[in-house]
């Protein structure tokens, strides 16, 4: 469920940022990224779309089919999400409720991946 939620949100958000690099479709001011290395939301949108959107759906597919190493992929997706949030907060120098919510999802994904990996080892 966490993978699905994050995948939908990141794909939608990334697509909106790519389609409207000025941030207007998400009501984001370019002021928000003035201290970042970006002049527009295009590159952050592409990164968000791929790393937390497309990759999330890839991990979800592996998880639903229980393809080998899916638990490791869940862990990796959690790390990617946490890294995204940390980098974003450092660049914009702000923490808001969305950062906290998504950071919490990242932590839950990491914990889920670890628990699943340990569970698999115990059943061998």
Mean pLDDT of 69-80: 97
CA distance 51 to 121: 28
Domain boundaries, position 44: 2-122
pLDDT at site 22: 97
Q: Chain-wide mean pLDDT for the chain?
A: 95
CA distance 25 to 23: 6
Mean pLDDT of 30-34: 92
pLDDT at site 67: 94
Say if CB 56 and CB 7 are below 8 A apart. yes
Q: What percent of the chain has pLDDT over 90?
A: 91
Say if CB 85 and CB 106 are below 8 A apart. yes
Model confidence pTM above 0.75: yes
Instruction: Quote the number of domains for the chain.
Output: 1
Q: Which position has the token pair 């990164």? A: 47
Say if CB 78 and CB 107 are below 8 A apart. yes
Say if CB 36 and CB 92 are below 8 A apart. yes
Reported confidence tier of residue 64, pLDDT bands at 50, 70, 90: very high
pLDDT at site 124: 65
Q: Is the pLDDT of residue 23 over 70?
A: yes
Contacts of 34 (CB under 8 A, 6+ apart): none
pLDDT at site 121: 78
């Amino acid at each position: 469920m966490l993978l699905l939620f994050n995948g939908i949100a990141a794909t939608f958000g990334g697509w909106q940022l790519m389609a409207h690099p000025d941030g207007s479709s998400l009501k984001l001011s370019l002021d928000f990224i003035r201290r970042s290395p970006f002049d527009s939301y295009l590159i952050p949108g592409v990164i968000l779309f791929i790393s937390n959107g497309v990759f999330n759906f890839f991990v979800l597919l592996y998880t639903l089919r229980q393809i080998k190493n899916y638990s490791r992929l869940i862990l990796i997706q959690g790390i990617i999400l946490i890294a995204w949030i940390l980098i974003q907060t450092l660049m914009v120098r702000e923490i808001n409720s969305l950062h906290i919510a998504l950071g919490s999802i990242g932590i839950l994904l990491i914990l889920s991946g670890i628990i699943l990996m340990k569970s698999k080892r115990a059943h061998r």
